[in-house]
Amino acid sequence: MRRTRNAKIVATLGPASSSPELIRQLFMTGVDVFRLNFSHGSHADHAERFKFLRALEAETGRPIAILADLQGPKLRVGSFAGGPVMLAQGQAFRLDLDTAAGNAQRVQLPHPEIFAALAPGAELLLDDGKLRLVVERCGADFADTRVAVGGRLSEHKGVNVPGVLLPITALTEKDRVDLTLALELGADWIALSFVQRPEDVSEARALIGDRAAIVVKLEKPAAVDCLDEIVALSDAVMVARGDLGVELPAERVPAIQKRIVRLCRAAGKPVIVATQMLESMVESPVPTRAEASDVATAIYDGADAVMLSAESAVGRYPVPTVDMMNRIIEQVESDPAYRQLIDASHSASRPGGNVAEAVCCAMRGAVALLQAAAIVCYTSSGHTSLRAARERPESPILSLTPRLTTARRLALVWGVHSVHTADVVNVDQMTQRACEQARRDGFAQAGQFIVCIAGMPFGTPGTTNLMRIASA
């Protein structure tokens, strides 16, 4: 089976989407990548969903990518003795390390690293920014604050510290345990939450190696400040607009989103736009017009994928939500203005590039000139297909690989239809297989042109150096 669109859909599994039948429906409706959110659910839950996804993959013959999303250092307040409290504007409120249940005057904040980084005048945002505290006095184990924006505060609500680089690692002890399970199960992508600095990515890379690819979630202002370095170290990037929109003024998020998408496209790194894409469909069978426009904007910008979170994990309408997202993408990609915008925003390679860039630039031109039915990439590592996708060509990309792990990872990438196939030994065999597969999967009819690219010698990562034009 094949999709008729270029942009991909990532959907989060949860209580509303755990049954085998519902997961099958989500896949058949349009999901390309399934996200397992390790902030919720047990290891047994994730293992069961993983097992079924691999069975579904074998049943349908289409590689399915599984994204394991680690919780990261989510900062939360402690508990309250008498239930939620009301904080009034102007009142004093203390945060400390005391394990005793809190009240309207104080509460535990079990994160000494936060106190170490605070200074008078710093702001703390609670419950996704609904409440705001300003630090007046602080020490190694406390912070005396004044309530700038009050409201109801209940236990274990999140804490954000905008503008402060916190001395914490992106991988907690929980994350390390979850990562071990995800790698044992065979997750294709690992998402790192609350990355602040390039070193956070390097630390994860040392643990993961080549067992999975890394998605860096950009949701901290500190990460945006060193965006180029973080993107260079990542395999893919997620614009995680939830926490990013808490720690930054809302009006800055759209421009940052576009900047990240542009940078990732130029670098040839897959980019996912996430959070509140179709949020109203958690409870409603139809989205708001603003949400539909939000999804469309990400597609017009050339994002590789858009992601559903609560909509598919706990929402009332997970399958209709995927169907709606699929329809929005197809509608945008059928708009003549879409191709114009994609071409206008394409970052052409400049003199001084490498052989792979030269081959893929030639491929893009050949496809346009010949109106080729498809591009066929023969790849071992996935590098050739990634490089082809960076060009955002007019024709679909059929990616043939002897490595199932590569086929699965490429399910995230714009325009790529990934097929796990047997190895080839020479160019003629590669060309023959490319033509056969293009006809079999409906990408080309007999006599139509296809453009094949590959690296020689076969099986050597990063050696894209061959282009051949063939007739299907």
Rounded to the nearest 10 degrees, how much is the dihedral formed by the CA atoms of 420, 423, 428, 433?
Answer: -20
Whether 217 is catalytic is yes
pTM value is: 0.93
Q: Return the pLDDT at 212.
A: 98
In CATH terms, the fold of domain 85-160 is M1 Pyruvate Kinase; Domain 3 (2.40.33)
Q: Return the pLDDT at 459.
A: 74
Residue 154: what are its φ and ψ, rounded to 5°? Answer: -110, 170
Whether 157 is catalytic is no
The SS3 call for residue 132 is strand
User: What span, in angstroms and rounded, lies between the C-alpha atoms of 377 and 433?
Assistant: 11
Beta bridge mates, 240: 274
Whether 258 is catalytic is no
User: Which residue intervals of the chain bear CATH 2.40.33.10?
Assistant: 85-160
User: Which residue intervals of the chain bear CATH 3.40.1380.20?
Assistant: 355-471
| Signed CA dihedral, 323, 324, 327, 328: sign only | negative
Candidates 76, 130, 262, 468; catalytic one: 76
- Please report where in the chains the tokens 């925003």 appear, as a residue: 345
What is the homologous superfamily of the domain 8-73+169-334 according to CATH?
Phosphoenolpyruvate-binding domains (3.20.20.60)
Q: Return the pLDDT at 113.
A: 87
The SS3 call for residue 410 is helix
Candidates 5, 35, 132, 408; catalytic one: 35
Q: What is the pLDDT along the chain (472 residues), one digit of tens a residue?
A: 789 999 999 999 999 999 999 999 999 999 999 999 999 999 999 999 999 999 999 999 999 999 999 999 888 999 999 899 999 999 999 999 999 999 999 999 998 988 989 999 999 999 988 999 999 999 999 999 999 999 999 998 989 998 788 888 889 999 999 999 999 999 999 999 999 999 999 999 999 999 999 999 999 999 999 999 999 999 999 999 988 988 898 899 999 999 999 999 999 999 999 999 999 999 999 999 999 999 999 999 999 999 999 999 999 999 999 999 999 999 999 999 999 999 999 987 777 778 988 999 999 999 999 999 999 999 999 999 999 999 999 999 999 999 999 999 999 999 999 999 998 989 999 999 999 999 999 999 999 999 999 988 887 777 889 999 999 8
Tokens, residue 95: 């945060």
User: What span, in angstroms and rounded, lies between the C-alpha atoms of 422 and 420?
Assistant: 7
Beta bridge mates, 308: 11
Q: Return the pLDDT at 3.
A: 92
- Helix %, strand %, coil % for the chain, to 5? 40, 25, 35
Residue 434, CA distances (Å) to 87, 313, 424, 453 in order: 65, 38, 11, 10
| CATH number, domain 355-471 | 3.40.1380.20
Whether 29 is catalytic is no
Alpha helix ranges (H) inside 163-309: 173-185, 198-208, 221-225, 227-233, 241-247, 253-267, 289-300
Of residues 418, 421, 428, the one with CA closest to residue 398:
418
The answer to whether 66 and 188 have CB atoms below 8 angstroms apart is yes
User: What span, in angstroms and rounded, lies between the C-alpha atoms of 339 and 173?
Assistant: 46
Helix 43-60, helix 20-29: angle, nearest 10: 50
Candidates 217, 364, 387, 408; catalytic one: 217
Candidates 275, 321, 384, 405; catalytic one: 275
